[in-house]
Amino acid sequence: MKKYQPTDLIKFASRTGRWTVKKINNMPTLYTTNLGSYLRFKVSDAKKCQITVLPNQNFLSPSQVFAFRIDDGKWQRVQASLGKIDIPLDSTLHTIEIMAAGNTDIDEVWQGNEGFAIKNIYLDSGKIMAAPQRPLVNFIGDSITAGCWVVGNHPAADYRPETNYAGICADLLNVDSVRIAYSAGGVLRPATGGVPTADVFLGKIDDQTLWTPNHPDLTVINLGVNDRRFPLAQFTAAFDLFIQQIKLTFPHTPLAIMIPFSQTFASEIRKIATKHDCSIIETKTWSHSFTDGLHPDQAGAIAEGKMLAQALQPLLPQFSVK
């Protein structure tokens, strides 16, 4: 058995998610607080890959969920409460992805260490290698970008970061992606799980852990709907400051600002995007359908992901949409 520990995995994990090595219950884990964070790696000459995970949800919550797929195939979902994910292989070269794919709003991810935790990866033989790097896109947002409530109203079980609009878009563009998104969050409204507003969560994985900003080829922002109860002037000032912060955090990186699917603060967001020379992604004419009037359902997410991929393609000119 070949064992890969968090300190081995972090070397390639940080490409595709906001991961860190963190001790949970005195055990080093590969840890993230972000739905949609994933690992992408190659495995050769192995017949079995086992990923051990820590059931780490709040005591009032259902099990967290991980999703995995082989060679860009169909995603499969596994409850973290099982403690392990067994992936049968056939000794040839395969690409494996595993994603943090379901939690709840009451998981105390910011101050309670109730994020997603991977313990180790075991192979019966062969080795793990980093997957070839693809262009890198950051998706910054709220529950819609995180992938909540895509297939129903059950927390964790009905989340789909792997096939929400950002997941679909990343697949179509064939890019690596990093999700920086928390449920209910905005530029003025704190997110759930004890998570603060976007200006604070941008630079931290949790209250104790700074995040070293990556170097994306493109950053996409979809924020504003959760700030809808704040006064217009207050939102405008906060959103403008946040865009300035993004530009300082990711210098020399193109920035695309989406109009929220709900069209919340659309005209103000357009003005701020224009002021800062950002691309504006109009979404009003897209084919939307929702689980609850706000969060896209699976059909809506697929349609939105396709439209977003088409809109972003010119900003990644050397690559084409699948």
Determine the Cα–Cα distance for residues 277 and 214; give it in Å rounded to an integer: 21
Structural domains of the chain ordered from first start: 2-130 (2.60.120.260), 136-315 (3.40.50.1110)
Each residue's pLDDT tens digit, 149-203: 999 999 999 999 999 999 999 999 999 999 999 999 999 999 999 999 999 999 9
What 3-state class would DSSP assign to 217? coil
H/E element, 43: strand 38-44
CA angle 211, 202, 280 (to 5 degrees): 135
Number of residues that make up the chain:
322
Q: What is the predicted pLDDT for the residue at 319? A: 54
pTM over 0.85? The answer is yes
Pairing of strands 218-222, 136-141: parallel
User: How high is the mean pLDDT of the chain?
Assistant: 97
Q: Print the SS3 string covering 84-128.
A: EEEEECCCCCEEEEEEEEECCCCCCCCCCCCCEEEEEEEECCCEE
Question: Most distant CA pair in the chain: distance in Å?
Answer: 60
Q: Which amino acid is at 200?
A: V
Determine the Cα–Cα distance for residues 87 and 98; give it in Å rounded to an integer: 11
Determine the Cα–Cα distance for residues 106 and 95; give it in Å rounded to an integer: 33
What 3-state class would DSSP assign to 242? helix
Each residue's pLDDT tens digit, 292-301: 999 999 999 9
Each residue's pLDDT tens digit, 250-266: 999 999 999 999 999 99
Contact call for residues 219 and 140 (beta carbons, < 8 A): yes
Contact call for residues 288 and 225 (beta carbons, < 8 A): no
Each residue's pLDDT tens digit, 13-72: 999 999 999 999 999 999 999 999 999 999 999 999 999 999 999 999 999 999 999 999
